[in-house]
């Protein structure tokens, strides 16, 4: 009786570890569901939208201008940010402050990306903290899952046209 119960417990622990490893690899290397909060990506992504962030593009260096990405925050490593890629390494990006009173041109250094929220008036992004290292990108937002009335791939950025030239 005792060996049979012990055998069932060990079997259960084995399956739990096995499925835990599969779940970890799936979330780390393939993708995950992310609940977004904050106004910085409005109207593309609003608070409480659920999106699928795939991680394969990041590993294959396939992140492109216009992609919406999830990245680690520069200030709090326990927090993620959701922003749009405006410039890749070597790009000259036209930037402006929150008041839009004067514009400057910034080069994106090697190994970095320039990230901005779609809601320029209410977004803390590369305009505030500069280029973001590519290594902090966690994944590319591929699909909006919730709310049901806006399910589908993401729309184009409402703020196109800030890239001046590419030196690649």
Domain that holds residue 127: 31-166
C-alpha–C-alpha distance, residues 66 and 157, integer Å: 7
Residue 62 domain flag: yes
80 touches 71 (CB < 8 A): yes
Q: Is residue 7 part of a domain?
A: no
In total, how many domains does the chain have?
1
Q: What are the backbone dihedrals phi and psi of residue 57, each rounded to the nearest 5 degrees, phi first?
A: -60, -40
83 counts as catalytic: yes
Residue 53 has pLDDT above 60, yes or no: yes
* 54 or 59: which leads in pLDDT: 54
| 1 within a domain of the structure (yes/no) | no
Q: What is the pLDDT of residues 55-97, one digit of tens each?
A: 877 777 788 888 889 888 888 888 888 899 988 888 888 876 5
- Is the pTM for the entire model greater than 0.85? no
Per-residue pLDDT for 130 more than 50? Answer: yes
Could you tell me if residue 25 is inside a domain? no
Confidence of residue 16 (pLDDT cuts 50, 70, 90): very high
92 flagged as catalytic:
no
Q: Does 8 fall in a domain?
A: no
Instruction: Give 4 or 99, the one with higher predicted confidence.
Output: 4
Catalytic hit among 57, 83, 123, 144: 83
Residue 168 has pLDDT above 70, yes or no: no
**DSSP 8-state code for residue 102:** -
Q: What are the beta bridge partners of residue 72? A: 80
Q: For position 51, which CATH number holds?
A: 2.10.109.10
């Amino acid at each position: 009786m005792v060996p049979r119960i012990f055998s069932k417990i060990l079997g259960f622990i084995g399956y739990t570890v096995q499925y835990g490893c599969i779940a970890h690899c799936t979330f780390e290397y393939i993708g995950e569901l992310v609940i977004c909060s904050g106004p910085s990506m409005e109207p593309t992504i609003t608070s409480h939208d659920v999106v699928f962030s795939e991680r394969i593009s990041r590993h294959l260096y396939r992140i492109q201008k216009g992609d919406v990405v999830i990245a680690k925050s520069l200030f709090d490593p326990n927090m993620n940010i959701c922003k749009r890629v405006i410039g890749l390494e070597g790009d000259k990006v036209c930037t402006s402050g929150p008041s839009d009173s004067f514009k400057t041109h910034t080069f994106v250094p090697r190994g970095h990306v320039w990230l901005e929220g779609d809601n320029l008036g209410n977004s803390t992004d590369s305009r505030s903290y500069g280029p973001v290292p590519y290594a902090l990108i966690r994944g590319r937002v591929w699909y909006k899952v919730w709310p049901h009335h806006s399910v589908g791939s993401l729309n184009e950025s409402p703020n196109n046209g800030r890239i001046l030239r590419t030196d690649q």
